[in-house]
Structure 1
Amino acid sequence: MKVQIYVAAHKPYQMPQDPTYRPIFVGAAIHGGAPQNYQPDNVGDNISASNPNFNELTAMYWIWKNCHADVKGLNQYRRYLSEAPKRKLAGILSMTEIESLLQQYDVIVPKKRHYYIESNYSHYVHAHHREPLDMMRTVISERHAAYLDDFDQLMHQTSAHMFNMMIMAGPKFDDYAKWVFDILFAVCDRIDIADYDVQEARVFGYLSEFLLDVWINHNQLKYVEVPVMYMEKQQLPAKAYNLLKRKFFPQAAKRTHF
Structure 2
Amino acid sequence: MTDMILYILTHKKFNEKYDSRLYKPLLNGSALLNDDFGYLRDDSGQNISKFNIYYAELTGQYWAWKNSNADIIGFTHYRRWFVRDIRFNKLTKNDILNDLKDNDIILPQKTRVKGSIKENMLRELEKNPEYGVKWEDYVKLGDLLKNKFSEYYDTYIDVLNGRTCYNNNMFICSFELADKYFEWLFNIFNLLKEQIDFSKYPKDNKRVFGFFSEILLTVFVTKHELKIKEHYILLSERKMPLIHILIRRFPIISTLEESVGKIVR
Structure 1 length as normaliser, TM-score?
A: 0.87
Q: 1:215 aligns with which of 209, 215, 220?
A: 220
Match of 1:32 in 2: 34
Match of 1:104 in 2: 102
Question: 1:63-91 CA deviation, whole Å, 9 max, x = no partner?
Answer: 1100010000111111011103434xxx1
> How far is the alpha carbon of 1:32 from its aligned partner?
2.7
Q: 1:225 aligns with which of 230, 245, 257?
A: 230
AA in 2 matched with 1:108: I
Match of 1:115 in 2: 113
Question: 1:63-121 CA deviation, whole Å, 9 max, x = no partner?
Answer: 1100010000111111011103434xxx11100000110011000000011112x3112
Q: Which runs of 5+ in 2 are unaligned?
A: 126-131, 248-252, 259-264
> How far is the alpha carbon of 1:185 from its aligned partner?
2.2
Q: 1:158 to 1:103 in 2, by over 3 A?
A: same
> How far is the alpha carbon of 1:45 from its aligned partner?
0.4
Match of 1:67 in 2: 68
C-alpha separation in 1, matches of 2:27 and 2:256: 30
> How far is the alpha carbon of 1:195 from its aligned partner?
2.9
Match of 2:128 in 1: none
C-alpha separation in 1, matches of 2:95 and 2:31: 34
Match of 1:165 in 2: 170
C-alpha separation in 2, matches of 1:83 and 1:97: 8
C-alpha separation in 2, matches of 1:60 and 1:220: 23
C-alpha separation in 2, matches of 1:225 and 1:70: 20
Match of 2:92 in 1: 94
Q: 1:243 to 1:212 in 2, by over 3 A?
A: farther
Match of 2:122 in 1: 125
C-alpha separation in 1, matches of 2:100 and 2:106: 8
> How far is the alpha carbon of 1:241 from its aligned partner?
5.7
Instruction: Indicate if the aligned counterparts of 1:109 and 1:225 stay in contact, CA closer than 8 A.
Output: yes
Q: CA RMSD in A?
A: 2.1
Q: 1:153 to 1:243 in 2, by over 3 A?
A: farther
Structure 2 length as normaliser, TM-score?
A: 0.84
C-alpha separation in 2, matches of 1:109 and 1:156: 21
Once the two structures are superposed, the pairs formed by residues 1-258 of structure 1 within 5 Å of their partners are 1-15=2-16, 16-36=18-38, 38-87=39-88, 91-116=89-114, 118-126=115-123, 127=125, 128=132, 129-233=134-238, 240=254
C-alpha separation in 2, matches of 1:199 and 1:119: 27
Match of 2:262 in 1: none
C-alpha separation in 1, matches of 2:90 and 2:219: 26
SS at match of 2:107: strand
> How far is the alpha carbon of 1:208 from its aligned partner?
0.8
C-alpha separation in 1, matches of 2:60 and 2:119: 28
AA in 1 matched with 2:193: C
> How far is the alpha carbon of 1:30 from its aligned partner?
0.4
SS at match of 2:192: helix
C-alpha separation in 1, matches of 2:54 and 2:10: 15
AA in 2 matched with 1:34: D
SS at match of 1:164: coil
Q: Which runs of 5+ in 1 are unaligned?
A: 245-257
